[in-house]
Amino acid sequence: SQQGEEDPQALSIQEGENATMNCSYKTSINNLQWYRQNSGRGLVHLILIRSNEREKHSGRLRVTLDTSKKSSSLLITASRAADTASYFCAGKVQGAQKLVFGQGTRLTINP
């Protein structure tokens, strides 16, 4: 299977703390994208990191990519209640256009 894995599957922290989610994948990728899904809603694109990049920032988001370990991490700093959602990583398969998703991390921010 080409599907990835995310760790942890669920994370609960206090508002203001930082949240780190990890993702591992099995196939070679061109880029890795992170998405957020609020309950019952669609996937919202957060950030894209190319395979030749190691780190990328966007607002309170920081993404790292280690292609040698086939892993990525998403850090959300100064978390807010509104960050409560499921977060998915998705690698764009090399030589194809499809995304291969991880199982997702359910993040809960407690006020």
**Footprint on this chain of another protein (rule: CB under 8 A):** 3-4, 30-31, 33, 35, 41-45, 48, 50-51, 88, 90, 92, 96-104
Q: Decide whether 17 or 66 has the Cβ nearer to another protein.
A: 66
Output the smallest distance, CB 51 to another protein, in A.
7
Output the smallest distance, CB 15 to another protein, in A.
27
The torsion angles phi and psi of 15, rounded to 5 degrees, stand at -55, 135
Three-class DSSP category at 43: strand
Q: How far is CA 64 from CA 15, 30, 82, in A?
A: 23, 14, 23
Quote the CA–CA distance of 2 and 62 in Å, as a whole number.
25
Q: Decide whether 4 or 79 has the Cβ nearer to another protein.
A: 4
Three-class DSSP category at 65: strand
Output the smallest distance, CB 110 to another protein, in A.
26
Output the smallest distance, CB 28 to another protein, in A.
12
Q: Decide whether 79 or 87 has the Cβ nearer to another protein.
A: 87
Reference 72, options 62, 82, 85, 60; nearest CA is 62
